[in-house]
Structure 1
Amino acid sequence: MAFFPKPAAGSWTENWPELGTAPVDYTDSIDPEHWKLEQQAIFRKTWLQMGRVELVPKKGRYVTRELPSVGPGVSIIIVNDGDQIRAFYNLCRHRGNKLVWNDYPGEEVSGSCRQFVCKYHAWRYDLKGDLTFVQQESEFFDLDKADYPLKPVRCEVWEGFIFVNFDDDAVSLQEYLGEFGEGLKGYPFHEMTEHYSYRSEIKANWKLFIDAFTEFYHAPILHMKQAEKEEAEKLAQFGFEALAYDIKGDHSMVSSWGGMSPPKDLNMVKPIERILHSGLFGPWDRPDIKGILPDELPPAINPGRHKTWGTDSFEFFPNWTLLFWAPGWYLTYNYWPTGVDSHIFEADLYFVPPKNLRERLSQELAAVTFKEYAFQDANTLEATQSQIGTRAVTEFPLCDQEILLRHLHMTAHQYVDRYQAERAAQSNGSGKPTAASSVKESANV
């Protein structure tokens, strides 16, 4: 699986000249009308990651997901019907009542059942979505239950991850994930079922948090207090440079050093980390499973096969980050926009189940250390949102290490531009976009 190395006397950006080098316009993160277009053009037309198959491990298990990113009030049911995992709109076909909920209809729920029963008039649906019972059916006029199943949502599974797509005409999940998806197959996700999760509302545009996680330019400054003094000063003086970047279609990745287990110099880490053999990079002691040693990793991970490799972060457009750590664990991020200046951030950490107390504590330390770093990243976002929202300045220069930010904003713009062109073509009835509505392919966004 090919990737582009950095030229000896050049830059990462030289490998993708279509991205340009001009300042990037951040109006896409402050304009309410642009956000509405993103909702229709992006979140209703791309594959969205919902969680792992372990959420619904056997027949009858279900979860609900609230998805305002897709549209106001959009809620879905994800269920294991015994043969496959399915998704449906969480809506009764009788009078539109929300079908699955507990005390508060806006909260996500999970459970196990043999059938879904509407709280309002007791219409019943089996796990495949078929309507099986109508209360006082004889009172209806020529009602055929076969005509009123739950409305399905496209649902596919990749390597144990559940995805949905609200566009019936979209390409398959495998085609959408492309080369990165193919190159990650075989990683032992199924072995890492010890799960920690965090969820928080962030008062900032969804793309701003992705921006924060796709560059390490900020790390020596923002996270200085988390490192030992000598190590922090060294990072601040010399900066941080990733090992590799790669872009394939809508998706991208960054590969970096770090994650040594144990560190070569124990003075680099804090006393609690020395005791528990753990920290931000995860537990130092690798789990005894196949598929995580350097020569066993799938080809997309550590594409340069660097000996000092520690972590890879894959950005699957629009809003899913899949991040691997060398010691043998991984985490995911999801960014669910709720408005132009707000989103829900979800982080999920996955480890091989611990075999003893020490392993358990080392995983817990990794989880809480991650949270502290994430808080620091999130803390800058609301300050950023407040200031770009003034529109005093709308264009900002990006350095070579911020190449994936440039790619994210360009990709999001392209989706919106295509959507607007398609709407214009439909409105003029020609089937082709007018000159005024043609897709804007701007290298500099």
Structure 2
Amino acid sequence: MSKVVHEPATPHRWPRPPEGTWTQHYPELGTSMMSFEDSVSPEFFELEREAIFKRAWLNVGRVEQVPKTGSYFTKELDVARASIIVVRDRDGAVNAFHNVCRHRGNKLVWNEFPRAETSGTCRQFTCKYHGWRYGLDGGLNFVQQEAEFFDLDKAELGLSPVHCEVWAGFIFVNLDATPRQTLREFLGPMITDLDGYPFDKMTEWYEFSADNQSNWKLFADAFQEYYHVPGLHSQQVPSAVRTPGKGFECAHFQVDGPHRMVSTGGARRWTMPPEFMYPIERVTRSGLVGPWESPELGELPKGLNPGRIEPWGIDNFQIFPNIEILIYHGWYLLYRYWPTSYNSHRFEGMLCFQPARTVRERVEHEVASVVFKEFALQDAGMLTGTQTALESAYRTAGLTEFPVNDQEILVRHFHKAVADWVDVYRHDLAGTDAR
């Protein structure tokens, strides 16, 4: 397998769209002060549970987690008050079911701790309580002392299915009784134009999770704009990659339905002065943006780098509501934000590389993952301060609105998408009440 060496590139100042600012391309978003009441209101969070997390397609994993017949994993979706099982059946299909026995409602699949996620391989699922057994297709196969029940119809008592579809190896579920769109319709062309990207080759994973004391949207906001970079990440992103007199600017923003993306470009990290890198980065030739050399990927899909930025750096695709896929040179990074309350959430991060072929490549991947943790911790370190300040401003001073600049257009779009989904739910609820 050949390698691509990322040659130094001359920094370039990216022109704004010919008609002016980015925000002017999306007049429906407006330019007024922006409310963050949606991040401090317990009442609004309860609406998000119903309007978004019980209606939208949610990414819960990848097909590599269920590689063969009987492979399964569980996922705890606290925000939707649900636990699900994802399993590969005997026909090779990936299915999802509510993690509950149909006898008396015991949690079906768990090990030592009922609230902990688990995974494994099995021929069937057996309830720990009374021994009912279910096939990989969810069908009820065995009832202990079946003759003692009254008119029991096993065909009607299989596991309760959850809508499950796969795109590009990413497993999505939808908890709605009747999803309004297929997964592909929901994702739309900006995301599905990534079809053909070799996600399936990048199976060496470094996974992290953290419980954060902030609203889920606030951490997502941090990765939708790079206006914060010169202040918060001054070492990682020094003056060499900033536009003179303006700081750090992104090369391209784009929205499609509730989804968003942002591209960066400019000077490569390895062209910077040594004082702006950790010593381990210089030694291993790997770090914040991953290995400086990466395996050849072949022809890339048209959806990558949609702004045709040259030199291109990173594409961050933000799939509504709570997943981000950041595509670098030869590897990708996955973020998920799972709400646990109106002012807390669980963050999941995963770095995905093509499997290392040498010890050096393995070290490069491990260095990248460690430096990533440092970078993410800098963002996470702001979260509790932001959350507590927003709550204080809201409850003691009545402040909910704050200015948002042109580079923060995706923050504005994200919160509007959330509000739009909540408004649709309220409208549907009012129609139901009227009937």
Alignment TM-score > 0.5, same fold: yes
Q: In the alignment, which residue of structure 2 is the partner of 1:346?
A: 348
Q: Percent identity?
A: 51
* Deviation for aligned residue 1:237: 5.7
Inter-partner Cα distance in structure 2 for 1:320 and 1:301: 17
2:176 to 139, 148, 167: 167
Q: Does 1:22 align with 2:24?
A: no
Q: Over residues 222-264 of structure 1, what are the superposed CA-to-partner deviations in whole Å (9 max), with x where a residue is unaligned? A: 0114457x759x6796411101000111101001115837436
Which aligned pairs between 1:392-411 and structure 2 lie closer than 5 A?
392=397, 393-411=399-417
Q: In the alignment, which residue of structure 2 is the partner of 1:416?
A: 422
Q: Over residues 108-155 of structure 1, what are the superposed CA-to-partner deviations in whole Å (9 max), with x where a residue is unaligned? A: 000110000000000000000000000000000111110100000000
SS in 2 for 1:11: coil
* Deviation for aligned residue 1:287: 1.1
CA contact (8 A) 1:312 1:323 kept: yes
Amino acid across the alignment from 1:282: G
Q: Which piece of structure 1 moves more, 244-253 or 9-18? A: 9-18
Amino acid across the alignment from 2:45: W
CA contact (8 A) 1:56 1:63 kept: yes
SS in 2 for 1:364: helix
Which aligned pairs between 1:181-260 and structure 2 lie closer than 5 A?
181-226=191-236, 231=240, 238-257=246-265, 260=268
CA contact (8 A) 2:194 2:302 kept: yes
SS in 2 for 1:190: helix
Q: In the alignment, which residue of structure 1 is the partner of 2:120?
A: 111
Inter-partner Cα distance in structure 1 for 2:248 and 2:360: 32
CA contact (8 A) 1:260 1:284 kept: no
* Deviation for aligned residue 1:375: 0.5
Q: Does 1:121 align with 2:123?
A: no
Q: Which piece of structure 1 moves more, 300-309 or 116-125? A: 300-309
Q: Structure 2: state its 5+ residue gaps.
A: 1-14
Q: In the alignment, which residue of structure 1 is the partner of 2:321?
A: 318
* Deviation for aligned residue 1:168: 3.0
SS in 2 for 1:208: helix
CA 1:356–1:388 in 2, change beyond 3 Å: closer, same or farther?
same
Amino acid across the alignment from 1:342: S
Inter-partner Cα distance in structure 2 for 1:9 and 1:155: 42
CA contact (8 A) 1:259 1:281 kept: no
Amino acid across the alignment from 1:64: T
CA contact (8 A) 1:156 1:164 kept: yes
Which aligned pairs between 1:1-400 and structure 2 lie closer than 5 A?
6-8=16-18, 10-71=20-81, 74-82=82-90, 83-170=92-179, 171-226=181-236, 231=240, 238-257=246-265, 260=268, 262-263=270-271, 268-288=276-296, 290-291=297-298, 296-325=299-328, 327-390=329-392, 391=394, 392=397, 393-400=399-406
* Deviation for aligned residue 1:266: 5.5
SS in 2 for 1:69: helix
Inter-partner Cα distance in structure 2 for 1:161 and 1:259: 32
Q: Over residues 251-297 of structure 1, what are the superposed CA-to-partner deviations in whole Å (9 max), with x where a residue is unaligned? A: 01001115837436656533321210111010011114x33xxxx22
Inter-partner Cα distance in structure 2 for 1:237 and 1:202: 34
2:431 to 422, 425, 430: 425
Q: In the alignment, which residue of structure 1 is the partner of 2:5?
A: none
CA 1:237–1:366 in 2, change beyond 3 Å: closer, same or farther?
farther
Inter-partner Cα distance in structure 1 for 2:52 and 2:279: 46
RMSD (CA atoms): 1.7
* Deviation for aligned residue 1:300: 1.6
Amino acid across the alignment from 1:40: E
Q: Over residues 361-416 of structure 1, what are the superposed CA-to-partner deviations in whole Å (9 max), with x where a residue is unaligned? A: 11111101111111110111110100110213210110000000000110100111
Q: Which piece of structure 1 moves more, 151-160 or 270-279? A: 270-279
CA 1:259–1:137 in 2, change beyond 3 Å: closer, same or farther?
farther
Q: Over residues 40-97 of structure 1, what are the superposed CA-to-partner deviations in whole Å (9 max), with x where a residue is unaligned? A: 00000000001111111000110000111112xx110000113200000000000000
Q: Structure 1: state its 5+ residue gaps.
A: 430-445
CA contact (8 A) 2:253 2:262 kept: yes
CA contact (8 A) 1:231 1:268 kept: no
Inter-partner Cα distance in structure 1 for 2:63 and 2:302: 24
CA contact (8 A) 2:65 2:73 kept: yes
Amino acid across the alignment from 2:429: R
* Deviation for aligned residue 1:301: 1.3
Q: Over residues 170-191 of structure 1, what are the superposed CA-to-partner deviations in whole Å (9 max), with x where a residue is unaligned? A: 2100100001222100001111
CA contact (8 A) 1:259 1:311 kept: no
Inter-partner Cα distance in structure 2 for 1:375 and 1:302: 27
Inter-partner Cα distance in structure 1 for 2:113 and 2:175: 25
